[in-house]
Amino acid sequence: MHKIIVEGINVFAYHGCLLEEAKIGTHYTVDVIMETDFSVAAQTDDLAQTIDYVIVYNIVKEQMAIRSKLIEQVGQRIIDKLKLEFKTLHKVEVKVTKHNPPMNGNVDKVSIVITA
């Protein structure tokens, strides 16, 4: 089994339960870890035989642009789209990190991790 890791996808988005979050937005970071078998790609140097991380980036960007109250929902949508796009995925993990969450306290970031 092999892993493809796309780390530090930085986007600005408008997720959150508060109305001000829908207007102001904040920075997010998304990390994607995918387990697959890219043996053929490694031997043939053929992009079609592996997971194209440009497509991964575009899926993340597209799903992050759709407003949700919860980053949990965003993370699940990203996983659903990745599994739909890449039939060779054996396992996928998505971490969505919200920077500077609006809380009554000094918190740098909050994250969710979903593995499917």
Tens-digit pLDDT profile for residues 78-102: 999 999 999 999 999 999 999 999 8
Tens digits of residue pLDDT in 20-74: 888 999 999 999 999 999 999 999 999 999 999 999 999 999 999 999 999 999 9
* CATH code of the domain made up of 2-115: 3.30.1130.10
Instruction: List CB contacts of 52: < 8 A, sequence separation 6 or more.
Output: none
pLDDT tops 90 at residue 77: yes
Domain ranges of the chain: 2-115
Which percentage of the chain shows pLDDT scores above 70? 100
Say whether 83 is catalytic. no
Per-residue CA distances from 92 to 35, 36, 85, 87, 99 (Å) = 6, 9, 12, 12, 23
What was the pLDDT predicted at 105? 85
Question: Catalytic: which of 3, 87, 95, 98?
Answer: 98
Confidence label for 104 from pLDDT (cuts 50, 70 and 90): confident
